[in-house]
Amino acid sequence: MSRKLSRWTQLVQPDFSQKTSLKSLTTPVERASTVVFDTVEKLRKRDWLDKNQYTYGLLGTPTTRKLEEQLAMIDGVPHAMLLPSGLSAISTTLLALLKSGDRVLMPSNSYEPGLTFLRSLQSQFHVELDFYDPAHPENLVIKENTKLLWIETPGSVTMEVADLPALAKIAHAHGVLVAIDATWAAGIALPAFELGADIVIQALTKYQSGGSDVMMGSITVESDSIYQQLREMQIKLGLGVSPEDCHLILRSLPHYPLRYRVQDQSARTIAAKLQQQPLIEAVLHPALPGAPGHNIWARDFSAAASLFSIVFKPEITQVQIDRFVESLQLFHLGFSWGGAVSLAIPYLRNQMHAGYAYEGCLVRFYIGLEDTQDLITDLEQAFQTLDN
């Protein structure tokens, strides 16, 4: 073009090809919807599934790809994909792998919104849903149309530990896929793929974010063909994540193993203290010797999340428990976990799943990064509200 471009055109089209020479120690935020191709041939030959190409913002930028690489590296598998929440990682997996008439085996203690999605697949698309007891893999009933075995360990809220190797062995003997929601272990505490998982789901919203301010989920897989199936479903659903959110998680990842381990120690100290509290029937923390699921936990896990539950004695009423939770000063009342701040949630007896073995009501604690003794003192003052 001979004519000098107007200032307004130059505003619209600066030299995009200029690359920075800045050598920083961060992964930059690279945003895109449109991705420009050099030639018509390259545009026509684009491959949506090729991880070495950039074709459209929804399908990844260098920032989102970097996070995928790191997550695949943590799990020691070739493939990771990002979804806008832990729940969408669950629903995308179910939708990608199941068709009408297929049967899924689900533990009754799994994350409730995932179960709700599966129930809608059951009523809308005639996917068959059966529940199994994760503590008794020998009772597993595999039928001709069983396609997928779902595992969550420990179970949401009630913390039963599943025998992953035994369950996976039975499933694989029948050609059934094993998907595990391993959010509690966070890629740190459980070698899920080594123990038999085919697909691992994480709510990155938790420890990997660490800031109580990002929603994201991931799916990691070993198999190329399962990866392709999942990726195609993600693309069909149009599910992508923000590079800014990926940047926040990339910033948190170097220290999340440290946070996980420090919080684990704090939570175990607090849980052991609570075991001595006379108003408590049971402390559901699998890393505590004598707690339900401890033996399987000790065999398969190398650490524990700082998330556990307590069961009150049956004579303690829900009203008293609500008052107990509201009188906590350092523990806040809210969903999700994985950030710096400690949380507590009371559950009603009729919210508990069929396998819940106790009479009393339950409170789930998330132990954050506060000083352990401050948290113990806070719990002690809250227990005093139950005395009168």
Nearer to ligand PLP, 246 or 382 (CB): 246
Nearer to ligand PLP, 216 or 274 (CB): 216
Q: How many residues bind ligand PLP (CB under 6 A)?
A: 14
For tokens 């704090």, name the residue.
266
Token output for 145: 């149309």
Supply the minimum distance, in Å, between the C-beta of residue 111 and ligand PLP: 4
Measure the CA–CA gap between 178 and 172, rounded to whole angstroms.
8
Nearer to ligand PLP, 152 or 264 (CB): 152
Supply the minimum distance, in Å, between the C-beta of residue 205 and ligand PLP: 3
Measure the CA–CA gap between 144 and 98, rounded to whole angstroms.
14
Supply the minimum distance, in Å, between the C-beta of residue 233 and ligand PLP: 17
Supply the minimum distance, in Å, between the C-beta of residue 180 and ligand PLP: 10
Cβ-proximal residues to 301 (8 Å cutoff; 6+ apart), any chain: 185, 189, 190, 286, 287
Residues 28-57 that bind ligand PLP (CB under 6 A): none
Supply the minimum distance, in Å, between the C-beta of residue 345 and ligand PLP: 12
Contact pattern from residue 67 through residue 86 relative to ligand PLP, giving x for each residue in contact according to CB under 6 A and a dash for the rest: ------------------xx
Question: Residue 225 in contact with residue 155, Cβ under 8 Å?
Answer: no
Q: Single out the residue of 53, 55, 327, 336 in contact with ligand PLP (rule: CB under 6 A).
A: 336
For position 214 contacting ligand PLP by CB under 6 A, the verdict is no
Residues 166-185 that bind ligand PLP (CB under 6 A): 181, 183
Supply the minimum distance, in Å, between the C-beta of residue 329 and ligand PLP: 25
Candidates 41-49, 121-129, 203-211, 350-358; binding stretch for ligand PLP (CB under 6 A): 203-211
- The angle subtended at Cα 94 by Cα 351 and Cα 187, nearest 5°, is 80
Q: Single out the residue of 217, 240, 293, 368 in contact with ligand PLP (rule: CB under 6 A).
A: 217
Token output for 49: 């599934």
Nearer to ligand PLP, 63 or 205 (CB): 205
Closest residue (Cβ) to ligand PLP? 86
Measure the CA–CA gap between 190 and 202, rounded to whole angstroms.
12
Question: Residue 99 in contact with residue 230, Cβ under 8 Å?
Answer: no
Residues 240-259 that bind ligand PLP (CB under 6 A): none
Contact pattern from residue 84 through residue 123 relative to ligand PLP, giving x for each residue in contact according to CB under 6 A and a dash for the rest: -xxx-----------------------x------------
Nearer to ligand PLP, 159 or 382 (CB): 159
The footprint of ligand PLP (CB under 6 A) covers 85-87, 111, 152, 156, 181, 183, 203, 205-206, 215, 217, 336
